[in-house]
Structure 1
Amino acid sequence: MKKLVIVVPAYNEEESLPKSLSVLSDVLQQMIDAKKIDSESKLLVVNDGSKDKTWSIVVDASKKNPLISGINFSRNFGHQNAVIGGLTAARPYGDVFITIDADLQDDVNAIPKMIDQYLNGYDVVYGVRSARATDTRFKRWTAEAFYKLMNKIGVEMIPDAADFRLTSGRVVDELLQYKERNLFLRGIVPKIGFPSTKVFYARKERELGESKYPLRKMLALAWNGITSFSVAPMHFVLTLGIFTTLISFGMMVYSAIQYFMGHVIAGWSSIMVSIWFLGGIQLIGISVIGEYLGKVFNETKGRPRFIIQDNLMDDQN
């Protein structure tokens, strides 16, 4: 039988983590009892530099339940790095891996179904939301717009799938070969290939604690995904520059015609509007180019994506 490691990124989750550990370890034990997975399977919590009691909860739980383990980052490195850090630490101990957030919004009952699909020969099993009934109208609209945009610029993504997924050992091996610091796993995993399928589930509302992904972070993740996989924003700026240049030529022709016809216009307003318009476009262009240069700068430094301060996996083996 295969060893399963469930990787759970956690940041300031002291309110929800006790229930999450109980529910997830019960699911793990049920699969062990059903002989679907090996008895040495683990639940690995990745403490992403939490400022509350998250890590102490993990340490205490690991002493009481041998199924529970954890790693502790030296500081907060972000959700995507927490996922990749957990997979990196778990790979020597497991054969198949499932990543799920600690808030229990993703349906844990989908985990046995994922294992069934893995046993049927699939290397990647995506947890896909069957509906967005719990989202606000604004969030549904922006999510749909984001997936459509990513598809148009050539980024392969699984609609309504986040980071709740199963990956086999060989997929994780390939995933860990991607060394970029600006991680967008929702776009990277589909690029790896291997047989994949989906498991649909209804996402729940958060019961305890506060969301660690407010609108600001969601927008930052979306922008990181776009700029990490496509140069479309730079193409857009180029198109915008050409368009404004054509407008300026048109305005020159119009001004010349008006001059020869004797229609002299003061033109203060049009000049000011043109200056502000062109200045705004220039700033947008510089910002977009700077975003890509910044990514190149960060990648060339080769700094670690995460630093593990404590590793209970090593202590338990």
Structure 2
Amino acid sequence: MDIQKATDLAHPPVLSLVLPCYNEQEVLPETTARLQAMLARLQANGEIAEGSAIYYVDDGSRDRTWEMIHDYAERHADVCGIKLSRNRGHQNALLCGLLTAPGDILISLDADLQDDLEAIPQMIQRYREGSEIVFGVRRKRTKDTFFKRFSAESYYKFLAMMGVQIVYNHADYRLMSRRAVESLRGYDETHLFLRGLVPQLGYKGAIVEFDRAERFAGESKYPLTKMLSLAWQGVTSFSAYPLRLITGIGMIISVISLVMAAWAVVTKLFTDSALPGWASTVIPMYFLGGVQLLSLGIIGEYVAKIFESSKKRPRFHVESLCGERFTDATPR
């Protein structure tokens, strides 16, 4: 442990809670009340320092979410708001909050109260024991439907098989030290998949298990289509395995083609049941056509990512900030 780290651990850290929000007006009052109570308790116990606060990131909500956040920020010193100019997606909103909020340690969590808040003191304890990143990991998935549980667990296993470094059953509930966050700032990737990116930072990590609750209010902002999109994002952003798989498929098809050619020759020479040209033309044509389209689709996905990354467009724009914790020096 370096001298700076030891000095930081000698004093309670300033904690920033970062919560991306999209149309969360139903749950915000309860979320704010519970998080404020948690901050007050941690400060009273000397686990965190004064100046700790909640940072809501409004990801282009269409309801009263930003209006409520702005009102809370005016009435409470421990609530701040970050408003994006338009909807940029959960991962970009989360990154914006992490890069904009001050604090010695930052904990990202969802605004729907499904993440167990009682895991926060455990995360802080792991940080004080020397961990730079603490991952919140679901203990079990008994409350999920069979399809949800099966698809989620298969997804993590699939990513691991693709060579993506990821923490099993971990979403975006995690603690990051200021050092880890500043290291994350150096990544300019257009297509964000923080679940795969954060473990690659390489700092000492720890795991805190928790039980995920039911959503307190409102509707889930991650339907099946968005979950599948995020899953594909994770694979294509962190693994070149699909491209290598195309090469393997090409080799297999070559072998199959040789076998079919041999079969067609044998059938032609030694039987009377062969239809002229059918075996050697129709079957390979359909088979190879399907594989080629699939391969082009996978290659196209990677080319599209290169194209979008080459434009170097900003991942988000901050429209406005509210809250006493922000200063003129706050990064935007």
**In the alignment, what sits opposite 2:16?**
5
User: Is the Cα–Cα contact under 8 Å of residues 31 and 112 in structure 2 kept in the other structure?
Assistant: yes
Aligned residues: 315
Task: Tell me, yes or no, if structure 1 residue 153 matches structure 2 residue 189.
Answer: no
2:320 aligned with 1:310, yes or no? yes
**3-state SS, counterpart of residue 155 of structure 2:** helix
- Whole-Å Cα distance in 1 between the matches of residues 100 and 323 of structure 2? 8
- Structure 2: give runs of 5+ residues left out of the alignment: 1-11, 328-332
Q: Secondary structure at the match of 2:167?
A: coil
Tell me which amino acid in the other structure corresponds to 2:311. Answer: K
Identify which of 177, 186, 206 aligns with 2:186: 177
1:17 aligns with: 28
**Is the 2:77–2:324 Cα contact (8 Å) retained in structure 1?**
no
SS at match of 2:299: helix
Alignment of 1:41-60 (within 5 A): 41-60=52-71
SS of 1:52's equivalent?
coil
The percentage of counterpart residues that share the same residue type is 41
Q: Does 1:135 align with 2:144?
A: yes
Q: TM-score, normalised by structure 2?
A: 0.91
Letter in 2 for 1:287: G
Kindly indicate whether residue 316 of structure 2 is the aligned counterpart of residue 299 of structure 1: no
Partner of 1:40: 51
Quote the offset at 1:313 in angstroms.
Answer: 4.5
- Give the whole-Å Cα distance in 1 for the aligned partners of 2:57 and 2:29: 14
Question: CA separation of 1:69/1:269 partners in 2, compared to 1, >3 Å: closer, same or farther?
Answer: farther
Instruction: Name the structure 2 match of 1:165.
Output: 174
* 1:9 match: secondary structure: strand
What are the Cα deviations for residues 256-283 of structure 1, in whole angstroms up to 9, with x where unaligned? Answer: 2222225252368755443332211111
Q: Partner of 1:233 in structure 2?
A: 242
- SS of the residue corresponding to residue 50 of structure 2 reads coil
SS at the partner of 2:187? coil
Whole-angstrom CA distance in 1 between matches of 2:223 and 2:121: 30
Call closer, same or farther: CA 1:154–1:275 in 2, change over 3 Å. same
Alignment partner of 1:288 is 2:303: no
Q: 2:248, 2:131 → 1: CA distance?
A: 42
Pairing 1:242–2:251 present: yes
Identify the range of structure 1 (147-156 vs 101-110) with the bigger mean alpha-carbon deviation: 147-156
2:162 alignment partner AA: I
Change (3 A) 1:269 1:136: farther
1:220 aligns with 2:229: yes
Higher mean displacement: 195-204 or 255-264 = 255-264
Indicate the larger mover: 16-25 or 77-86. Answer: 16-25
Given candidates 200, 203, 208, the residue that maps to 2:212 is 203
How do residues 264-275 of structure 1 correspond to structure 2 at under 5 angstroms? 264-266=273-275, 271-275=281-285
Q: Which amino acid aligns with 1:308?
A: V
Q: CA shift at 1:31, angstroms? A: 1.0
- Separation in 2, partners of 1:188, 1:315: 28
Superposition RMSD on alpha carbons, in Å? 1.6
Distance 1:117 1:315, change over 3 A: closer
For 2:97, the equivalent position in structure 1 comes to: 86
